[in-house]
Structure 1
Amino acid sequence: MDKLHLDKALTPEGWRDDVTLSVGPDGRIAAITTGAAPPDATRIRGIAIPGLPNLHSHAFQRGMAGLAEVAGEGDDSFWTWRDWMYRFALALEPDDVEAIAALAYVEMLEAGFTTVGEFHYLHHGRDGRPYADPAELARRCIAAAETTGLGIAILPVFYAHSGFGGLPPSEGQRRFICDLDLFGRVAAGARAAAKAYGRGGFGIAPHSLRAVTRDELTALLAAFPAGPVHIHVSEQVKEVEDCLSAHGMRPIALLGDWAALSERWCLIHATHADPFEVRQMASAGAVVGLCPVTEANLGDGLFAGVDFKARGGRFGVGTDSNVAISASGELAMLDYAQRFATRRRTALADRGRSTGRTVLEACLCGGAQALGLGTIGLAVGAPADVVVLDAGHMAFAGRGGDAVLDSWIFGPSAGAVSEVWVSGRRVVDGGRHVARSAVEVRARAVLERVIGG
């Protein structure tokens, strides 16, 4: 049994000095002790915090980061950004998808994320025909996770329509579209690949209420009666208006009418939830998957986070379009968005509590629930996922305890992550992923060909 000795660590019981984790062959923490480092332990100097779940990612979109920032003739929005994304998605071969995903996953690990929920909807060939293995591209994402050591919950997406009421898909969506039978084969292959990877998990993701009918959603939930269910919902004002026009209900209320919301659900964005829908999500125990950096980039709007949290709502963060990949950046933007909305500071913290500690712990719990991870954190039974902050970094000068978290998230802390361990194995050393050089070479060749060619 391997042993990791942490100089300082944030445990479920609070901050502790001289913590030793005993890591079993399955990569999980088998025991925790305090005191002097055992002679056979690997000494980890620095400030150890739990690895953060990234509950929502479209890995291939990392390759187009920064390409959709030229102003158009009209007002730009999510819908104009989506046109850029469709064109980029149509250019990629399987090797390209794997190379870009590996780059995104390296950057996630260097940032402090140790598991990703891959909301995977790029299924078919460039001409829209399924591969011989319908789960080819899901397997490529899992292969990228295995190459980098990142935990992954693969969430194959059911996408059948272009708009509410079962509208036929557009040509630009041809790589996404499945009927229920084809989706079943995609999901079966994705689940098998996830199971074969020791840090793989599985759930399903009806893309949105624009992309699935009531009957299709009912059939999906019957075919997959357990495990996480993720869905985009109420991200855009136009989406809400179109839903009201087609069904006479707002999207989250409509979802609750079509399906029994519960703890297995993760509602991505929920930006334009009204007060009734906020209460509905909180009372169901569903997780809201917030992607603050992407939501800002796309001009989505501001989620009613303070009200949702006050009602016991659960939430986590994701990197979504991967326009920027930063665990501390997502956590900072999460609270900053609520500061914009409420016009007060430390909007999500309870009185007298650290904002950094509050949002980190909330997103650990919400992310774990959304991805079906079970026990998480530096606790017995959890994966030995450890993020180490450099105690000598200037951001932490004179600071200890929760002030370290506040300074990491809200201070000038670039380069503060020195090591990352996943399942008891070091994958980031000196702030750099151990496979970064090889991953960069492969991804650079892809991007220069796809974008520059």
Structure 2
Amino acid sequence: MGRSATNLHFANALLPAGWAADVRLTIREGLIAGVETCTAPHVEDQRHAVALPGVGNLHSHAFQRGMAGLAERRGPAGDSFWTWRETMYRFVERIGPDELQALAALAYVEMLESGFTRVGEFHYLHHAAGGGAFADPAEMSQAIFAAAAESGIGLTHLPVFYAHGGFGGSAPGKAQRRFVHDIDGYARLVDATRAAAAQLPDAIVAVAPHSLRAVTPDELRAILPLAGDGPIHIHIAEQVKEVEDCIAWSGARPVEWLLDNAAVDARWCLVHATHMTDAEAAAMARSGAVAGLCPITEANLGDGIFPAEPFLTAGGRFGVGSDSNVLIDMTEELRLLEYGQRLARRERNLLAREPGRSTGQDLFEAAVAGGAQAMGFESGLAVGNAADLFSLSPGHPSLAGRGPDALLDSLIFASRRGAVDCVWRRGQKLVSQGRHRARDAIAARYRGTLTALLA
């Protein structure tokens, strides 16, 4: 954006140290170059009511935005994640690079409009229809990069290593052939995606073993060095059947096995981790890994409810993601996270850190910090960080009369999407009055693409 500065003034802003009044942000070359508090606006400043740091969406499968609502018909037997997965396999078979870009671009627009400013794209759709390799191993990743570029969202790209159909190295199924790599092919994929990521200003390429059922212990050990000091993400303990199959294979539960057999630390994000014993939850918390929670998808798939009490009591960290993208809404992820705990325990305000704390603020700040840790970037409205933030609509009915102490409770528990006004990503205003500047064109292409895919 050149060397000239943009200045934003907010009546109230949530800074790393807490709420502050009359905050002036100076943005230069996409970064926050200055933060002043208790200062009057200058004549050239853009003025807004409330500033919040952008939230990281730590787990997304962007292509699944296109199948939202297509798996909600009751089957002849018990429906579950495993029957939903068959619908996903059928849908994915027709998606090429152009279709992927169109689906991902709309998903990323919707993320930005809800306050997500960076996405962790857990990307396992690598090969051409039928499973054949593209000449460029990063062909499908390039479509993700293009979607991120046209939407403006920040990207932590997580090319997935997927080799098997079940625990113990069983052969992958025919429906999984577009996902599968060997170790050497995966290393080439990671190299290619890192080279391609240079087209985006601050993209990060990390490493993602899909799950313990899709990766053998030897393969896991072989691919982890590719992460370097960067993030490592893995699906784990999402389903009861997954836990039972892991015990049958190894004699241990998934999180238990991983903590005993890998050097899990703060670089790791354990996505879902739904079915843990209290001992597993406490041990995971001690490792420093982030729990990647996706409450909307976990509810949609009937996964279960995350064991928050033992995990948080032991100092655990979490972030949120939109996963299947069946509904993209940052505040709804946080609301459902708290409400799931309330339903399970029949109590209220369970995720506030201590008595008297705002539940909404504690949820929000935890998600900001956990998302940043899991995706390898610095978050918050502080000098040197990317200028990723959003403002709230001062005229929204659910925010009327609220001071800073009640704003996040009202945003998360009492507001709808119209509460988000503007969104900036690296200092560029991408969303105004709740609407992305490229929404019309991106949505039109999405509709055409989806109509063709479902014909």
TM bucket, shorter chain: over 0.9
SS in 1 for 2:246: helix
1:223 shift after superposition: 3.2
Q: Deviations over 1:311-362 (max 9, x none)?
A: 1000000000000000100010111111122210111112100000000001
1:421 shift after superposition: 0.5
1:79 shift after superposition: 0.2
Q: Deviations over 1:73-117 (max 9, x none)?
A: 000000000000011111111100000000000000001100000
Which residue is 1:368 aligned to? 372
* TM-score, normalisation: structure 2: 0.97
Q: 1:113 aligns with which of 112, 116, 120?
A: 116
Which residue is 2:58 aligned to? 55
1:439 shift after superposition: 0.2
Runs of 4+ that moved beyond 4 A:
none
Q: Deviations over 1:167-219 (max 9, x none)?
A: 00000001100001111121112112223310311111000000000000000
Alignment of 1:88 onto 2:100: no
Which residue is 1:428 aligned to? 431
Alignment of 1:12 onto 2:4: no
Which residue is 2:286 aligned to? 283
1:24 shift after superposition: 2.0
SS in 1 for 2:119: strand
Query: Structure 2 counterpart of 1:351, which letter?
Result: P
Which residue is 2:165 aligned to? 162
Which residue is 1:272 aligned to? 275
Mapped to 2, the partners of 1:91 and 1:197 lie a distance apart of: 27
SS in 1 for 2:211: coil
Superposed counterparts of 1:311-390, under 5 Å: 311-349=314-352, 350-374=354-378, 376-390=379-393
How many residues align? The count is 449
Unaligned runs of 5+ in 2: none
Which residue is 1:403 aligned to? 406
1:40 shift after superposition: 3.2
Query: Structure 1 counterpart of 2:25, which letter?
Result: L
Identical-pair percentage = 54
Query: Structure 2 counterpart of 1:223, which letter?
Result: L
1:414 shift after superposition: 3.2
SS in 2 for 1:415: helix
Q: Deviations over 1:248-282 (max 9, x none)?
A: 11001111222111000000000001112111111
Alignment of 1:132 onto 2:135: yes
1:46 shift after superposition: 2.4
Mapped to 1, the partners of 2:362 and 2:189 lie a distance apart of: 38
1:310 shift after superposition: 1.2
Which residue is 1:189 aligned to? 192
Alignment of 1:300 onto 2:303: yes
| Structural RMSD (CA) | 1.0
Mapped to 2, the partners of 1:441 and 1:347 lie a distance apart of: 42
Mapped to 2, the partners of 1:39 and 1:399 lie a distance apart of: 27
Mapped to 2, the partners of 1:86 and 1:31 lie a distance apart of: 48
Q: Deviations over 1:385-443 (max 9, x none)?
A: 11111011000112111311111100033311111011111000111000001101111
Query: Structure 2 counterpart of 1:49, which letter?
Result: L
Mapped to 1, the partners of 2:399 and 2:357 lie a distance apart of: 18
1:2 shift after superposition: 2.1
Mapped to 2, the partners of 1:291 and 1:408 lie a distance apart of: 19
Superposed counterparts of 1:236-275, under 5 Å: 236-275=239-278
Conserved in 2, the CA contact under 8 Å of 1:155 and 1:203?
yes
SS in 1 for 2:48: strand
* TM-score, normalisation: structure 1: 0.98
Unaligned runs of 5+ in 1: none
Conserved in 1, the CA contact under 8 Å of 2:114 and 2:417?
no
Conserved in 2, the CA contact under 8 Å of 1:153 and 1:194?
no
Mapped to 2, the partners of 1:222 and 1:390 lie a distance apart of: 45
Query: Structure 2 counterpart of 1:84, which letter?
Result: T
SS in 1 for 2:49: strand
1:222 shift after superposition: 2.5
Mapped to 2, the partners of 1:213 and 1:277 lie a distance apart of: 21
